[in-house]
Amino acid sequence: MKEESCIFCKIANGEIPSETLYEEEGYRVILDLGPATRGHALILPKDHYASLYELPDEKCGEVLRLAKKMAVRMTDRLGCSGFNLVQNNGESAGQTVRHFHMHLIPRYDGDGQEIGWKPGKPEQEELKEIRKTICG
């Protein structure tokens, strides 16, 4: 299913040109236009799913398989020394395009990028309470 107003639907399905690194039946992998590092790419399903919440279970494995395939190839070709997979869901999490995508971010020693978080210092009680909220 495609969404008429979605730019990633159009890119994934070849209606808008992109620097495509790889294409297969249900997916296109393109270079990000605002890259964090050299080679930053995006895995786009050709069907429209707004985020991980809508992505069908069977596609979750496909996306990770493709991420690994691309990471191996890109690491070999680009000579990067590390690799981040990033996947944002919802505005509060930094998602700006409401079509599921996974970021493939090659990392280089001293590349100056910061992809991470400030670690908190929760008490044991708080961790217990959170676990109960999630699992209870």
Instruction: Answer yes or no: 103 catalytic.
Output: no
Gap between the terminal Cα atoms of the chain: 36
100 three-class SS: coil
Binder among 6, 50, 52, 97 for ligand AMP (CB under 6 A):
97
- Give the side-chain half-sphere CA count within 13 A for 53: 6
User: What is the total count of residues that contact Zn ion (CB under 5 A)?
Assistant: 6
Query: Are the CB atoms for 43 and 67 separated by under 8 Å?
Result: yes
The span of 43-51, 60-68, 95-103, 124-132 binding ligand AMP (CB under 6 A) equals 95-103
Regarding 28 and contact with Zn ion (CB under 5 A), the answer is no
Q: Which residues bind ligand AMP (CB under 6 A)?
A: 7, 11, 18, 30, 32-34, 88, 94-97
Catalytic residue positions? 101
